[in-house]
Chain A
Amino acid sequence: MRAWVSVAAFFGGVMLLTGACATSEQWAEWRSHTTHFASGTHGMFSLRNNNDGSNPKVSRTDIEAARQENWWGKAITVSPEQIFQN
């Protein structure tokens, strides 16, 4: 009985550690990325940059326009009344 408990504890520990490592790796991968910005990675910028090779400047208006193009419809979001009182 004691041996069975030890084996179970061993495998339980291995599974826990494996799970923890996977989460750490996933976290490290996300954290190491520096391009999380959705609109900033939009094709518009790279197309514009590649066409004339001059790396034209990007303005906030360009970014807003890219955001509009990426728009997937109205997202369900909590209403302010569920968080605040005015």
Chain B
Amino acid sequence: MSRFDPKVLGGLLLAGVLTVAVAPALAGPEDALMPIEKYTTAKAKSLASVHRARLLQFSEEIYNCMPWLSVYPGRLGFPKDLDSKGGDDRYLSTWIFIDQREDPAFAALPQDRQVSAMFSRYGVDMLRRMAALPEIVEDGNVAGLSVVLSWPKPGTFGPGKQAINETFALFVDKATLSDFLAKAIPAREFTARSRFKLFDGEQLVGRVPLEVWEDSFNSTYKVANYEPPKGVQCQ
């Protein structure tokens, strides 16, 4: 008698194939990092190589401790602002998707107020977390920091609807961010010195009025019964 019954073996193989086919494609912390080969300049490749370990650690922190957020695959790294003039100014940048449910109160806010709310809630905290990576931020080849936020456009997610994400991208130099986080300059000066723009799906909306206020949600929110992997300390 054969050691493996052909029927049993066939069943196992079929189960394996189905598992692979059905299981959702999950992106891990490493997938968030922009692959070094995708950078187009030696300066950017060097930054990505030198700081890879710390960036991965940062990505793991987001993945394990803030499950309501996910990093756009390959968009944690050192890109250049498309609108920058000349030079090769590199920004420590994170693009996050915010898993926000439909909310009538949020939907009723004017667009610039929605943007202000999302940036105040998630953008400032992400910039603060990135600014707390001194070995990266103090690197002379890093010109500034950037955060990109995408969230479901109200009323577009649901059966029979075309889902649309709104996306807000901001770039700021290191000195301005440092002063803002230290409360040495007011929020209006921070916004005046920053470059930012909004997209509605793929359409550029442009620079919108941006207000920034205190919001501790992202640093205090806890998902009920959520448990990070063993050995992970979330702050």
Does B227 contact A59, Cβ atoms closer than 8 Å?
yes
Given known contacts A78-B167, A80-B75, A41 and B109 CB-to-CB distance under 8 angstroms? no
Q: How many chain A residues have a CB neighbour from B under 8 Å?
A: 45
Q: Is B67 an interface residue (CB 8 A)?
A: yes
Does A45 contact B101, Cβ atoms closer than 8 Å?
no
Q: Across the two chains, which residue of chain B brings its CB closest to A67?
A: B99
CB within 8 A of B223: which of A26, A55, A58, A85? A58
Does A85 contact B227, Cβ atoms closer than 8 Å?
no
A37 to B84, CA, bound (A): 34
Does B163 contact A74, Cβ atoms closer than 8 Å?
yes
Q: How many chain B residues have a CB neighbour from A under 8 Å?
A: 59
Does A76 contact B223, Cβ atoms closer than 8 Å?
no
Chain B 205-235 interface mask (CB, 8 Å, partner A; 1/0): 0000000000101000101111111000000
Q: Is A6 an interface residue (CB 8 A)?
A: no
Kindly identify, within residues 37 to 54 of chain A, every residue whose CB is under 8 Å from any CB belonging to chain B.
Answer: 37-41, 45, 49
Does B109 contact A76, Cβ atoms closer than 8 Å?
no
Does B103 contact A78, Cβ atoms closer than 8 Å?
no
CB distance from A47 to the nearest CB of B (A): 13
Q: Is B24 an interface residue (CB 8 A)?
A: yes
Most buried by B among A34, A41, A76: A76
Does A45 contact B150, Cβ atoms closer than 8 Å?
no
CB distance from A52 to the nearest CB of B (A): 13
For A39, list chain B residues within 8 Å (CB): 67-68, 99
Q: Is B79 an interface residue (CB 8 A)?
A: yes
Does A85 contact B100, Cβ atoms closer than 8 Å?
no
Does B227 contact A83, Cβ atoms closer than 8 Å?
no
Does A27 contact B204, Cβ atoms closer than 8 Å?
no
Q: Is B192 an interface residue (CB 8 A)?
A: no
A86 to B47, CA, bound (A): 12
Chain A 1-27 interface mask (CB, 8 Å, partner B; 1/0): 000000000000000000000110011
A56 to B226, CA, bound (A): 9
CB within 8 A of B224: which of A29, A40, A68? A40
Which residues does A use to contact B, with CB under 8 Å? 22-23, 26-27, 29-31, 33-41, 45, 49, 55-61, 63-65, 67-68, 72-86
What are the 8 A-B residue pairs with the smallest beta carbon separation, nearest first?
Answer: A75-B163, A84-B79, A38-B101, A57-B227, A78-B199, A76-B201, A68-B24, A37-B68
Instruction: Give me 21 A-to-B residue pairs in the complex whose CB atoms sit less than 8 angstroms apart, sorted by A's number.
Output: A26-B105, A26-B106, A27-B113, A27-B117, A30-B105, A30-B106, A37-B67, A37-B223, A38-B101, A39-B99, A40-B224, A61-B26, A63-B67, A65-B24, A76-B164, A78-B165, A78-B199, A82-B199, A85-B82, A86-B34, A86-B80
